[in-house]
Amino acid sequence: MMATMEGLPSCPTVFSRSSQRPYLRVKHILRFSRRRCQHGGGRSSVSRMPRRRGMLRNDMGTASTEQSELAAATAKRRTFAIISHPDAGKTTLTEKLLLYSGLIRTAGMVRGRKGGKTAASDWMGMEQERGISITASAMQFPYKHAVINLLDTPGHQDFSEDTYRTLTAADSAIMVIDAAKGVEAQTRKLFAVCRMRRIPVLTFVNKMDLPGRPPLDLMTEVEQALSIHASAVNWPIGSGSDFAGIVTRDDHRVALFSKTAHGGATKVDVQTMDLADLSTSGRVLPDVMGQVEHDLELLAIAGNPFTRDAFLEGDVTPVFFGSALTNFGVESFLDAFVDLAPSPTSRLADGDDGSELAIDPIDRPFSAYVFKLQANMNPKHRDSTAFLRVCSGRFERDMVVKHQRLGREVRLSRPHSLVAQERSTVEEAFPGDIIGIINPGLFAIGDTISVTGGFAFKPLPQFQPEIFARIRPTDVGKRKAFDKGMEQMAQEGTVQILRSLNDLESLVAAVGRLQFDVLQYRLRHEYRVETVLDLLSYTCSAWLEGDPATFKTPSASMIVKDQRGRVVVLFQDVVMKNIGRERNPGHVLKDMG
Ligand SMILES: Nc1nc2c(ncn2[C@@H]2O[C@H](COP(=O)(O)OP(=O)(O)OP(=O)(O)O)[C@@H](O)[C@H]2O)c(=O)[nH]1
Ligand SMILES: [Mg+2]
């Protein structure tokens, strides 16, 4: 295969760790680029040039064709994040959505059996060892008439900053609820973020194959705990070992499932029938049948009506029941999801002149922002990837765009779409798409790029750190690799690096202890550096507005600065922080940066 100037293959190529992975279908969205390779035998110099809006057009007809292509592609996009408390089944559901999309042929487990297959989105070694998600993961796949961009997020609160940033890239969210546990603490917090950002939420009640709480109780809890109307789209037939299927409420069609071997690694067999025929089929016990009929009657009288507008407004959440592990209810959920979920709409940005702008996905030329950085995703490519969410216009490979923070132009020459850590080179992308760009150190989290320049999307939140430490390599000879690893981890937001005001001392800071475990694990595995970490006694912090020289520090506190040079005060505990506030009425202590 011919190599281009940058050392890249000339045809769109899929990079993969295991050549067996049947991810190739992702390329159907790349039809345009593949045709060019087949017929042209490589990229011509003309095709390398970005088709700038207005530049290469020779008549209004072309302009409107491009515009309507863009509008059609945007209308197809469904970009969503899966959120919940740890262990509710987000990664398992993600894996099953990939299975039903055809992107993978057999689904892996969150915690792979020895030598067995693991879930695609939990790609990091530590995730596979511990069976938890540590970092948000992006995947793109076509399904029916839609192109789906799915973001699997970690549930653990120590990684909530990553989850919050990832949520900003989504147009809707799927909230997964464990049928036995109901609405848990972390789910409440994440739901509150969705509400604040006006992201509509669909609810998937998972683990119906295990003994759980009555579905009506769960519906009530969703309504009360989250102050939202809940409207069941389907209803479970039995639960635990009796969970046999679901019935769709509007047409009373029943889907009965047969258990598959290998714990749901392959699609489940479905038999459909009318509810009226279910009792005579002998497939469900009479008392299960009686309960379903009773619940449906009750819902018909007292249940919330569902309208798509109310869902998009965040007034109601459609509720689905199923079991991600056994695949029960996953396909009908995905079908309903592509119909209900919104496609991308305008996003707010701050203009250079201080005005607030709504960036329309179709009317504006290409713009995007970086919501995540991740290094060393694929051992074959020891590099850093910037995850971009396309907000407007058509993206084309090799485009030259304005980098708002740096105030300069950059060429986007190595874009790829993602299936967890695997990459497929992309030629074009549309609003809603998540693409990866190799980051040669140009991008930081929150950066805006656009064809026109002149605005920045709203800044991403940074949480106040609550745990602090000093860290050093055990072997002083590894200092260089250590510094490189630390710089990368800090850029990604894995941890924050704080320095004393005179720059002589540096500390690491995080929102939760697990972030330090990830830091040490990644330094060991990705940079071959063993480290010693000494925890410090500070437990909270705040960004300081005002002159640090006149700030009267309470005892056992410390003034430092963060990576962006902003002043941060570290306190031993909340009492000291409050004393700091009281003693310094002329200063402001901010909890979110
Ligand atoms: N019985 C049963 N187990 C399930 C189901 N869905 C997930 N699990 C199991 O629940 C555990 C947690 O599942 P995950 O998919 O990792 O949960 P998660 O929400 O991604 O967890 P974090 O990413 O760590 O927050 C795993 O052992 C899964 O096999 C289900 O429908 N039924
Ligand atoms: Mg997970």
CATH of the domain at 178: 3.40.50.300
Ligand 1 atom nearest to 153, measured from its CA: 23
Same domain, 106 and 231: yes
On whether both 301 and 411 belong to a single domain, the answer is no
- Main-chain phi, psi angles of 218, to 5 degrees: -65, -40
Q: Can you name the residues that pair with 369 across neighbouring β-strands?
A: 389, 448
- Tell me the pLDDT band of 460, cut-offs 50, 70 and 90: confident
Identify the residue whose tokens are 């005179």: 502
Q: Is residue 148 part of a domain?
A: yes
| DSSP annotation string for 200-250 | -EEEEEE-TTS----HHHHHHHHHHHHT-EEEESEEEES-GGG--EEEETT
Same domain? 365 vs 288: no
Average pLDDT over residues 102-130: 70
What are the tokens at 310? 């109310």
Minimum-distance ligand 1 atom for the alpha carbon of 208: 31
pLDDT tens digits, one per residue of 137-152: 888 889 999 999 999 9
Interior/surface letters 554-579, b for 16+ CB within 10 angstroms, e for the rest: beebbbbbbeeeebbbbbbeeebbeb
User: Tokens 């058509």 — which residue?
Assistant: 394
User: Which pLDDT tens digit goes with each residue over 176-223?
Assistant: 999 999 999 999 989 998 998 899 999 999 999 999 999 999 999 999
Query: pLDDT at residue 49 above 60?
Result: no
For every residue of 426-441, DSSP letters joined together read -SEE-TT-EEEEE-SS
Please check whether residue 308 lies inside any domain of the structure: yes
Query: Is residue 79 domain-resident?
Result: no
Question: 10 lies in a domain?
Answer: yes
Q: Does some domain include residue 75?
A: no
Answer yes or no: do 181 and 309 share one domain. Answer: yes
Say yes or no: CB of residue 173 within 6 Å of ligand 1: no
Do both 153 and 276 map to the same domain?
yes
**Contact at 8 Å (CB) between 361 and 392?**
yes
221: phi then psi, degrees, rounded to nearest 5: -65, -40
**Same structural domain, 287 and 415:** no
Instruction: Answer whether 151 contacts ligand 1 (Cβ < 6 A).
Output: no
User: Which chain residues have CB less than 5 Å from ligand 2, an ion?
Assistant: 90-91, 133
**Residue 375 shares a structural domain with residue 517:** no
Q: Which residue has the higher pLDDT, 159 or 35?
A: 159
Q: Which domain holds residue 563?
A: 467-590
Ligand 1 contact, 187 CB (< 6 A): no
> Which of the listed residues 340, 375, 408 is the one where a domain comes to its end?
340
The answer on 395 and 500 residing in a single domain is no
Residue nearest to atom 12 of ligand 1 (CA): 87
Pair 320, 275 in one domain: yes
Which amino acid residue places its CA nearest to atom 14 of ligand 1? 89
Please, are residues 551 and 559 in contact by the beta-carbon 8 Å criterion? yes
3-class DSSP state for residue 485? helix
Q: Which atom of ligand 1 is nearest to the CA of 323?
A: 31
Q: Under the phi-then-psi rule, with left for phi > 0, alpha for psi from -120 to 50, and beta for the rest, what region is 105?
A: alpha
For residues 410 and 406, what is the distance between their CA atoms, to the nearest angstrom?
10
Ligand 1 pocket check for 248: Cβ under 6 Å: no
471 and 356 together in one domain: no
Q: Does the residue 73 lie in any domain?
A: no
Say if 502 falls within a structural domain: yes
Q: Can you say how many angstroms the Cα of residue 458 is from the centroid of all Cα atoms in its chain?
A: 18
End-of-domain residue from the set 438, 457, 476: 457
In 195-208, which positions are buried (b, 16+ CB within 10 angstroms) versus exposed (e)? eeeebbbbbbbbbb
Instruction: Give the chain's domain count.
Output: 4
- For residue 407, what is the domain's CATH number? 2.40.30.10
Q: Report residue 1's pLDDT band, with 50, 70 and 90 as the boundaries.
A: very low
Q: What is the CATH number of the domain that holds 490?
A: 3.30.70.3280
Token representation of residue 578: 């409050």
430 shares a domain with 409: yes
Question: For residues 490 and 269, what is the distance between their CA atoms, to the nearest angstrom?
Answer: 47
Examine the domain organization and report whether 563 and 436 are in the same domain: no
How far is it, in rounded angstroms, from Cα 323 to Cα 221? 19
Q: Residues 262-271: what's their mean pLDDT? A: 81
Query: How far apart are the C-alpha atoms of 436 and 420, rounded to whole Å?
Result: 11
Band (pLDDT 50/70/90 cuts) for residue 266 is confident
In a domain, 330, yes or no: yes
pLDDT band at residue 10 using 50, 70 and 90 as cut-offs: very low
Residue ending a domain, choose from 309, 340, 371: 340
**What is the reported pTM?**
0.82
Instruction: Say yes or no: CB of residue 163 within 6 Å of ligand 1.
Output: no
